[in-house]
Amino acid sequence: MKIFLTGGTGFIGSHLLKKAIEQKFDIIALRRSIRSCTKISLSSEPLWLTKSIGEVTVEDFADVSVLIHLAAHSANVPYDTLENCIHYNVLQPLSLFQKAVEAGIKYFVIAGSCFEYGKSGERFDFIPVDAPLEPTQTYPASKAMSSIAFYQFAIQHRVKISYLRIFQVFGEGESVSRLWPSLRKAALNGEDFPMTFGAQVRDFIDVEAVAERFLQEVKEIAFRKEFEPQYLNVGSGKPQSILQFSEFWWNKWEAKGKLLVGALPYRKGEVMKFVPEI
């Protein structure tokens, strides 16, 4: 089974490539330039296609069975404008998918975002996959729009789509500004780590588990009888507070500094519980 992957040099994409290569998948990965590289080292390189998404042709999908779409525009704050997010996260992928269908591809595995749920997520102890989409910012709004647009695309073209909304992913190669890398840097440098009281409850999932979940879906999607698009929440199923998460890793790294619990205020409008129903 040959896979076409977008977002292969990103955080999740790098880990997916590593696992796909280890599992002997035949994979072609899209990258914007020859200087683009994965966030982690690989045992061997995939077949790289050096193009923008808009430059991909029907011929580039030769012999491909499954398209995995991980590429996302402006996925971290500060988010780009709504117009740009819609262009790159909705319209451009639809054009790519159209070419894939013309090449005969019938299976699509797509990365969504938990933040598509937005305000509605606050009303659930565990957010069901059919919860209303009420995003409050530009990037999540564009992803919510894409989930609806891709549903119509699948129905129209009679292709199978699995859309996986990812929750609090962490791990090697993650942006240095996020919690886990910041925590690790302080721990390994013997520094104190100022944080909030950490009562926010999240579903933290290791990036390697996310990558494995996408490959599992690749293996299963062809055997689904229904053409109805499938939406899934991707998390560990083990919610914990940010303080519990931080204390676990702080102790694991045998940090010499201190967690300065309560040294920082909660963000304005902080959601105190945001976890999925798995």
The tokens of 179 are what?
Answer: 């919690």
CA distances for 165 relative to 49, 143, 157, angstroms: 26, 10, 22
The structure tokens 């790519």 sit at 96
Longest Cα separation, the chain: 58
Share of the chain above pLDDT 70, in %: 100
For each of the chain's 278 residues, which pLDDT tens digit applies?
Answer: 899 999 999 999 999 999 999 999 999 999 999 999 999 999 999 999 999 999 999 999 999 999 999 999 999 889 999 999 999 999 999 999 999 999 999 999 999 999 999 999 999 999 999 999 999 999 999 999 999 999 999 999 999 999 999 999 999 999 999 999 999 999 999 999 999 999 999 999 999 999 999 999 999 998 887 778 999 999 999 999 999 999 999 999 999 999 999 999 999 888 999 999 99
Domain ranges of the chain: 2-170+204-234, 179-201+238-274
pLDDT given for residue 227 in this prediction: 78
CA dist 60 and 57 (Å) reads 5
Q: Say what angle helices 138-157 and 92-102 make with each other, to 10 degrees.
A: 20
Please answer whether residues 13 and 70 qualify as being in contact, where contact means their C-beta atoms are separated by less than 8 angstroms: yes
> Rounded mean pLDDT of the chain?
96
Give tens-digit pLDDT for 155-178: 999 999 999 999 999 999 999 999
**CATH H-level, domain 2-170+204-234: superfamily:** NAD(P)-binding Rossmann-like Domain (3.40.50.720)
Whole-structure pTM value: 0.96
